[in-house]
Amino acid sequence: MHLMWRMQRVLHQFRHALITPSRNARTAVVLGRLLASAFVICFATGIYSHLLQDPAPWMVFPNRPIWLYQVTQGLHITAGIACFPLIFAKLYAVFPELFQTPPVRSLAHLVERASIALFVAASLVQITIGLLNTYQFYSLFPFSFRHVHYALSFVVIGSLAIHIAVKLPIIARYWRKRDAPDSAPATDRASEFADRDELRRRTGIPQNAGITGRIFEWIDTKPAPRPPDPRAAVSRRGFFAAVTIATGTLVTLTAGQSFRILDGVNLFGPRKNDVGPQSLPVNRTAKAAGVEESATSPDWMLTVSNGSVTRTFDYAELAALPQHEAWLPIACVEGWSQYASWRGPRLRDLVDMVGAPELASVRITSLQQHSIYGVTEMQPGFVRDELTLVALQVNGETLDLDHGYPARIIAPARPGVLQTKWLTRLEVI
Amino acid sequence: MAAERVEPEEVAVSDDMNLWRGALIVSGVLLLAIGGLTFLSEVKPATYLGVGAWLAGAIIVHDGIGAMAVFAATVVIRRFDRVPFAVLAIVQAAAVVTVIVTVVVLPEIVKQAIGSANPTILPLDYVGNLVLVYVGIAVATVVAIAVALVRRPSSSRRTN
């Protein structure tokens, strides 16, 4: 039994030593609201992006405003980055909970603690692999980022719903500032343990016995200030200031990759506007896609087919068709985006030349091999859009090989991975 | 052992609230089930161990190392009680901002050093920019401390 009492004592001592003015239920509620909002934004925008790339046949997506995907995915990444300071702060505020005694009170309590452990672990992994993915640091993942990030998103949001349900009375109790008096650090009651120290009661071993006892005694000689000590308010304000400044700094210095207005202070974004061939970033180069030869071959042709009707166009024939301009962003799943002026024939004009029906989808095939995006499908709404082009030019120049020469798709409100480069075939389906 | 509960037991739970709690729990369990099924159907079994290691590693690195280091740092900083409290608070806030920015940017610097798939990925001088931000934090800290000291009541300035 001694071991259990010793453990109980250490847990008590930890909780006691962890008391600070910012560790209370009100802080947890304030940070929880912000973090939950960021999680919900990430989940909603992430699911939207997933469905765009992997739609059910009946799904219809908006193609206006043209910046829709740029904004949803920019928000996804930016809110994800904001989660780092917020989750660290939230976990800081509730850290003493880790040391509650007894560690397990009942089956329900065990389930609750296990679900919290899963929630915390899944949330930390989710935002970390998301961030590392924007750096393309794939070598750190012993798994498929795309599949794990997708599955974990449901785990995180499901756990969040359960967590809110469990804590709802506390959330309601501390929702408003005026209902949350400074004088109630959540851990107060639980940490006043001197008279409930079983180890001393049963064996007489004093609390400052042993190495841990002395360390905790040493900590206890200089406790954190407690209300009504005015320093407690200073400490709590300093905590919130630190969280606010950290969040603001990270968002300001990275969001420029997604939102042009912050481009001037883009110090840490993994992408930078105007950096790349023809002032446009690239995700997959022609070399990486293995198309350097096939895309530059003089025999290159674009095949457009509808059942048995097939037409082929070489580059000169495409360039001789009526050309249209579109000012559209490339918006990557990794969050960066950039506008460019694209020029080429409309996709709908091309498929109409093989008699495509009004509500037809188009299967788009690229020269690139070994990529899940080598063959994609475009729904009728995007096919019929006047801004959807088979682009031959960008910003007034012939497409760079890395931007999809000889011809690429560009459409409004679609993820960059679906803006297929190095076209070879368009099939009406 | 109800007295051990951290939550204030006297919080009111209305019928309305219980309705919401029920709805949240049902949707939460459903979402967890979707997550679990998605995981089983989409993630290759050979990589389960890797995912498990990441989940366990996240808890160990955060709770076992990060949070404990913060705890140790705060109890040590508390000993500097000859330094005005507001100054300590400002220094701690600056340290928090510095650490969090570093945590986010450091892997970017490492990946840049390893090399990217093409020159438009990680194109900036992240080390230089990080130093720039450190300098900015240091300057802001000094200014904040100066302001805090000037605004202190003169009586406490004398006693310290």
Q: Is the ipTM of this complex over 0.90?
A: yes
247-266 in A: which are within 8 Å (CB) of B? 249-250, 253, 266
Over residues A116-139, mean pLDDT: 97
Residues in chain A within 8 Å Cβ distance of B104 = 81, 84, 131, 250, 268
Q: What percent of chain A has a predicted confidence (pLDDT) above 90?
A: 82
For residues A387 and A328, give the distance between their C-alpha atoms in angstroms, rounded to a whole number.
Answer: 8
pLDDT surpassing 70 at residue B72 = yes
Summarize pLDDT for A257-313 with one digit per residue, the tens: 999 999 999 999 999 999 999 999 999 999 999 999 999 999 999 999 999 999 999
Note whether B102 contacts A: Cβ–Cβ < 8 A: no
Interface contact flag, B97 A246, Cβ < 8 Å = yes
Chain B closest-CA separation from residue A123 CA (Å): 9
CA angle A136, A420, A345 (to 5 degrees): 145
23-82 in B: which are within 8 Å (CB) of A? 24-25, 27-36, 38-39, 42-44, 47, 49-51, 53-56, 58-59, 62-63, 66-67, 70-71, 74-75, 78-79, 81
- State whether residue A77 is helix, strand or coil: helix
Task: Identify which of A105, A147, A224 has the shortest CB distance to residue B43.
Answer: A147
Q: What percent of chain A has a predicted confidence (pLDDT) above 70?
A: 96
pLDDT of residue A193: 53
CA angle A217, A223, A199 (to 5 degrees): 35
A195: confidence class by pLDDT, cuts 50, 70, 90: low
SS (H, E, C) A351-400: HHCCCCCCCCCEEEEECCCCCCCCEEEECHHHHCCCCCEEECEECCEECC
Summarize pLDDT for A204-232 with one digit per residue, the tens: 888 888 898 999 999 988 989 888 889 99
pLDDT of residue A372: 86
Over residues A63-80, mean pLDDT: 97
383-422 in A: which are within 8 Å (CB) of B? 402
Task: Please state whether A355 falls in left (phi above 0), alpha (psi between -120 and 50) or beta.
Answer: left
What tokens does B95 get? 């340290």
**A289 or A186: whose pLDDT is higher?**
A289
pLDDT of residue A205: 86
- The answer to whether A213 and A10 are in contact (CB under 8 A) is no
pLDDT surpassing 50 at residue B1 = no
The chain B residue lying nearest A80, using CA atoms, is: B104
